[in-house]
Amino acid sequence: MYIIEHALLNLGKNRGRNILIGIILFAVITSAFIGVAIFNASDTIIEQARIDFDAMVRIRPQMRQAGGAATVGGNETQQLTIEDFHNFADSQYLSGAQIIESGGSRGMGADVTFYLLSPYLLAAFETEMREKGLPDEWMVYRDEASFRRMLAPIDNLREVALTFLVIVLVFGAAIMVLLSAIAIRERKYEIGVLRAMGMKKKKVALCLWIETVIITCICFILGMIAGTVLAQPVSNALWAGDGTISINLGAITVLQILGVSILLASIAGGVAVNQITKYEPIKILMNRN
């Protein structure tokens, strides 16, 4: 209890220094909230898009041009009619189908997409279509190239968010270590007195760590509020696609940032404290000036 009271008392004594540390922490935490929120939102969209895409199936003939006719291995490819496509669409494995006629009644000119109830039903649906008359030279496939093109802007946004987050955390940690080291050196005499009074190194370190954690928690609350407000506008500014990406700061995101914030503060405090606690109290007091 004494350690906590001492930590709270020191926060008031060193108000100016703690405000400076708090400003840095606030900037790092706010930026981290923005980066993690955008990254998680992008990742969720990509995962959901992958699930939806895997449920989309198309068919087309494996053909090459020879003398103006579509052929496979030198044989003319069997063409399908719109009725054939509607017959394929009448399946227990589908949630729906989109059949767009673009070539009259001839299936070669149709744009067809089937929507599976589950991505895992692809093999069963293909077997059913073969039984209904889908020729062997027609392939059942997922349009992976279109999927990659569709998600390219979202993937780029996710990469930008991840890069931004890494840069913020690295530079933030470096600045925190530097400020903490300077702050601890200024409090060298105070630490020497506590050690001379019999306080063990671990308790001195714990007291300093508690001070840092208290500042971190205050900055975390303020940073969460600022990050919540700024995440959506920043996402809109970075987003190159149509519409917007909805940013939601869920409980997982909040806990992730809280953990990272305390970790950064602990690393910064630990590095600085290690520079002081390795000296004996008498040496600290003798070198007061």
List, as one string, the DSSP characters of 118-179: SGGGHHHHHHHHHHTT--TTEEEE--HHHHHHHHHHHHHHHHHHHHHHHHHHHHHHHHHHHH
Question: For residue range 224-271, what is the model confidence (pLDDT) as tens digits?
Answer: 888 888 888 887 777 765 666 777 777 777 887 888 888 877 777 777
Q: Beta 75-76 vs 69-72: how paired, if at all?
A: antiparallel
Of 20-24, 38-42, 124-128, give the range with the top mean pLDDT: 124-128
Determine the average pLDDT of the residues in 112-139: 91
Residues 191 and 242 in one domain: yes
Residues 125 and 13 in one domain: no
Helix ranges (H only) for 14-69 are 15-54
Phi, psi of 62 (to 5 degrees): -85, 95
Q: Which two tokens stand for residue 121?
A: 């039903």
Q: CA 260, CA 117: separation in Å to the nearest integer? A: 40
pLDDT confidence band for 107 (50 / 70 / 90): very low
Kindly tell me if the per-residue pLDDT of 146 is higher than 80: no
Question: For residue range 45-100, what is the model confidence (pLDDT) as tens digits?
Answer: 888 888 888 889 998 887 554 444 444 444 556 788 888 899 999 999 999 998 88
Of the residues 113, 144, 175, the one at which a domain ends:
144
Question: What's the chain's average pLDDT?
Answer: 78
Q: CA 245, CA 41: separation in Å to the nearest integer? A: 7
Of the residues 144, 172, 195, the one at which a domain ends:
144
Of the residues 109, 144, 179, the one at which a domain ends:
144
Which residues neighbour 158 within 8 Å (Cβ) at sequence distance 6 or greater? 38, 39, 42, 43, 46
**Prediction pTM value:** 0.66
Residues 38 and 70 in one domain: no
Please report, for residues 67, 114, 146, 270, the alpha-carbon distance to residue 50 in angstroms, rounded to integers and kept in the order given. Answer: 39, 16, 12, 43
User: What is the domain extent for residue 80?
Assistant: 54-144
Please report, for residues 53, 82, 115, 230, the alpha-carbon distance to residue 154 in angstroms, rounded to integers and kept in the order given. Answer: 15, 35, 23, 19
Residues 120 and 173 in one domain: no
Counting every residue, how long is the chain?
289
Residues 180 and 262 in one domain: yes
Residues 126 and 252 in one domain: no
Residues 37 and 160 in one domain: yes
Classify the C-alpha dihedral 56-57-62-67 as positive or negative: negative
Q: CA 111, CA 60: separation in Å to the nearest integer? A: 9
Task: Indicate the helix (H) or strand (E) that contains 193.
Answer: helix 188-196
> Any idea what the CATH number is for the domain that residue 80 is in?
3.30.70
Residues 38 and 151 in one domain: yes
Residues 112 and 153 in one domain: no
Residues 162 and 29 in one domain: yes
Q: CA 126, CA 60: separation in Å to the nearest integer? A: 13
User: Domain total for the chain?
Assistant: 2
Residues 81 and 30 in one domain: no
Residues 91 and 107 in one domain: yes
Kindly tell me if the per-residue pLDDT of 105 is higher than 50: no
